[in-house]
Chain A
Amino acid sequence: MGADDTKEMIETMDASPRLPDITGEEQGSDVFRQLLHQAVRVADLANAQAMRMALDFAKVYEREQGVRHEFQSQLKQMTLMEKQATRYAEDLASMLRSERERRQELERALEQERVANEELRRTGLQGISHLLLAATIKDRTTGEHLQRVRGYVEAIAQRLGLPADLVEEFGYSSVMHDVGKIHTPDHILQSEHHLTDEQFGVIKQHCIDGEKMLGEARFFETARAIAREHHERWDGRGYPDGKKGEEISLAARIVSVADVFDALTSKRPYKDAWSADAGLKAIEKDAGERFDPEVVSAFVALSREGVVETIRFEVAANAPAQNGSSAK
């Protein structure tokens, strides 16, 4: 109900009482007339007062309605914001919860993988030491050759600034560079004569066989590359694929230098052992042709620092006491 209705209602009552004609014959009742007029004035006043109050009331009512309306709309907004904030908090909580669960799951998976990797690594390393042992039992010089190559490879890799885990990986992988030779007939391997083309073809096959033998495990990835590529040359004239430069993996480029140096400085059926100096000169001469020049520089530096000599000495000292040709 609006203020207008209220006002109209009051106006209908805004009428002085209808007085009978009192100017008649009863002249003497002036007192009565005065009293009557006074009564009318008081009634008018009371009426006006009542109307004024009603109007004020209407105004207050109207204002109060406005306030209530304002209040209700504010309340609605606040209720909405409260619901909104609750919804956000719930979503956030569930997001955090699932995030934490995911992270825990991930950590568990990582831990499992780490354990599995460690297991695999131990098994792999064990297999490699068995391989070395087998090689040493068959031929002491072969076992020592592999140990020296490994020593050189690790020293060169470290010298080139590779991280420790790669140094180790290159080292253990280098031991397997000739595993493919298990298929190569002994009469070709130990031939003291120049090889025919056909025999040389059989020799080349050991790189491909070696890669194949090392399977598909990540642990042998570097070993496979080394087996396949350790007879490749920097200038591209090597075998079996004729890769050149950095197409050849770094590990294989390092093994190539270590393997050739040790072959030169070791006694073989068809040749005497060269001195370390002579071997080093031959390696240096082939830098940029057969070998990666950077690997050669690192190796030359190591030799100058006496590291190469130390490795040769240590391998000889650790070798089982047994007759046979040593590298010295």
Chain B
Amino acid sequence: MAKLLVADDLVPIRQMVRITLSTQGWTIVEAKNGNEALDLVRSEKPDLVLLDVDMGPGPNGFDVCRQIKADEATKDIPVVMLTAHESDSDRAIGFAAGATQYLTKPFGPLELIDTIRGILAHS
């Protein structure tokens, strides 16, 4: 069974993601900022990471993604950006940072599940 990390500073978003993904039988680990996300990626070794971009103080989602990709131990973990930044330049930054997929808020539950399922099936 897959283990997923969701990093977002907003409690309601984390709850929505957790409830949505738990319907697929996946285990969800939550982080409320960039530093917490990095710690949990290293200690929990999730199968996939969902990253918000603006998470208050500390590294933002792009930074977190870059650091995950820079670490030999975590570089193969797929990252999905989940953010309200919907401009093409933000997308480009996300993919350049090493993200596998880029979803914009508001996201639909089916969209979220399908995206993750597709990535997990390939890895």
A residues at B contact (CB < 8 Å):
77, 80-81, 83-88, 90-92, 95
Tally chain B residues at the interface, Cβ within 8 Å: 11
Give the shortest distance, in Å, between B31 (CB) and chain A (any CB): 18
B8-24 with Cβ < 8 A to chain A: 10, 12-13, 16
Contact of A91 among B10, B13, B109 (CB under 8 A): B109
CB distance from A72 to the nearest CB of B (A): 13
Q: A77-B10, A81-B10, A81-B12 are in contact. Are A88 and B109 (CB under 8 A)?
A: yes
Beyond A77-B10, A81-B12, whether A87 also contacts B108 by CB under 8 A is: yes
The chain A residue with its CB closest to the CB of B10 is: A77
Residues of B within 8 A of A84 (CB): 12-13, 16, 105-107
- Indicate whether A95 sits within 8 Å of B110 (C-beta atoms), given known contacts A80-B84, A81-B10, A84-B105: yes
A92: which B residues are within 8 A, CB to CB?
109
CB distance from B21 to the nearest CB of A (A): 13
Residues of B within 8 A of A88 (CB): 16, 106, 108-109
- Chain A to chain B contacts (Cβ below 8 Å), 28 pairs: A77-B10, A80-B10, A80-B84, A80-B105, A80-B106, A81-B10, A81-B12, A81-B13, A83-B105, A83-B106, A84-B12, A84-B13, A84-B16, A84-B105, A84-B107, A85-B12, A86-B106, A87-B106, A87-B107, A87-B108, A88-B16, A88-B106, A88-B108, A88-B109, A91-B108, A91-B110, A92-B109, A95-B110
Considering the chains assembled together, what is the distance between the CA atoms of A85 and B15 in angstroms? Answer: 12
Contacts A87-B106, A88-B108 aside, 13 further interface pairs with beta carbons under 8 A come to: A80-B10, A80-B84, A80-B106, A81-B13, A84-B16, A84-B105, A85-B12, A86-B106, A87-B107, A88-B109, A91-B108, A91-B110, A92-B109
**CA separation between A86 and B105, bound complex, in Å?**
11
Closest to B20 in A: A88
The smallest C-beta distance from B113 to any residue of chain A, in angstroms, reads: 10
* Residues 83-117 of chain B, each 1 if its beta carbon lies under 8 Å from chain A, else 0: 01000000000000000000001111110000000
Residue among A83, A85, A88 with most chain B CB within 10 A: A88
Chain B residue contacts of A86, Cβ below 8 A: 106
Minimal beta-carbon separation of B86 from chain A (angstroms): 11
In the bound assembly, the distance between CA atoms of A86 and B110 in angstroms comes to 14
What's the Cα separation between A90 and B110 when bound, in Å? 11
A-B pairs, 4 with minimum CB distance? A87-B106, A84-B106, A83-B106, A91-B108
- Shortest distance between the CB of A156 and any CB in chain B (Å): 47
CA of A88 to CA of B108, assembled, Å: 6
- Docked Cα-Cα span, A80 to B9, in Å, equals 13
Say how far A219's CB is from chain B's closest CB, in angstroms: 40
Chain B nearest CB from A269 CB (Å) reads 70
Chain B proximity of A85: nearest CB distance (Å): 8
Residues from chain A with Cβ under 8 Å of B16 in the complex: 84, 88
Of chain B, the residue at the smallest CB distance from A73 is B54
Q: Which residue of B lies closest to A77 (CB)?
A: B10
With a CB–CB cut-off of 8 A, which chain B residues contact A90? 108
A87 to B: closest C-beta gap in Å:
4
With A and B bound together, what is the CA distance between A118 and B106 in angstroms?
51
B74 to chain A, nearest CB (A): 28
Identify the interface centre among B16, B106, B109, B110: most chain A CB within 10 Å of its CB: B106
On chain A, the residues within 8 Å of B110 by CB distance are 91, 95
A326 to B13, CA, bound (A): 84
Compute how far the CA of A83 lies from the CA of B13 in the bound complex, rounded to whole angstroms.
11
Q: Which residues on the A side are within 8 Å of B106 (C-beta)?
A: 80, 83-84, 86-88
Instruction: State the Cβ distance, A122 to closest chain B Cβ, in Å.
Output: 44
Residue of A81, A86, A90 contacting most chain B CB atoms (<10 Å): A81
